[in-house]
Amino acid sequence: MRHITTPLTEDTVRSLHAGEQVLLSGIIYTARDAAHLRMMDCIRRGEPLPMPLEGQVIYYAGPTPAPEGRPVGSIGPTTSVRMDACTPPLLARGLSGMIGKGLRGAEVVKAMKEHTAVYFAAVGGAAALMAQCVASLEVIAWDDLGPESVKRLTVRELPLVVAVDCYGEDAFAKGQKAYLDSLK
C-alpha cells in the first residue's frame, strides 16, 4: 500500500499503476454532476473555476450532513461516467486525479494519457468508512447545490485503488481478463 499526498506531481502520477492500492492524504475537492455543469459554464464564459486544478484531485461525491462532532456524514463515490463529458476540459486545465466508481469512457482515458492524470476507484458501499478519513470540510462554491456544492476536504489516508493509470491501463479490464483466463 502506497501513501501519496496532494497536490499530485507528474512524477507521482507517472509512478502509479492500475490495480495499485494507495492511501491518499491532503486537500481534495468534491464535485458531482451539477457542479461539473457549472464548471463547464465558467469555462465557456472565460471565468475562473472555484478551485485550482493544477495537481488537484476531484472526488465525485456528495457528502451527507455531518453528525455532531464530525466534519462530514457518509461520503461515498458516485458513478464517474456521468462526469465524462466534462472531464477532458478539466484535465486540459491541469486536473491530475479523479475519484469515483465504475468505468471511464475512451475519451476520458485518452485525455488522461495526454495530460498525465489518474483515476482512482473508491469502494462503493463504504461511505461511513470513507467519512472517517475526512479531517475537515469547507463549502467553497455553489452552496445552493446542497450536497453537490464544491467542497474542499482535508483527507487522511483515504483508501483507493488506481483504476486507470496515465498509461491507459485499466484495473477493471485487467481483473476481467484475469478472471476469464482462470476459467480456461
Which are the catalytic amino acids?
Answer: 36
Q: State how far the Cα of 117 lies from the Cα of 99, in Å rounded to an integer.
A: 11
C-alpha cell, 34: 451539477
Q: State how far the Cα of 118 lies from the Cα of 64, in Å rounded to an integer.
A: 26
Q: Around Cβ 143, how many Cβ atoms within 10 Å?
A: 10
Q: State how far the Cα of 170 lies from the Cα of 150, in Å rounded to an integer.
A: 28
Residue type, 58: I
Q: Where are the beta strands (DSSP E) in 13-129?
A: 21-30, 57-59, 97-100, 118-121
Burial 1-16 (b: 16+ CB within 10 A, else e): eeebebbbeeebbeeb
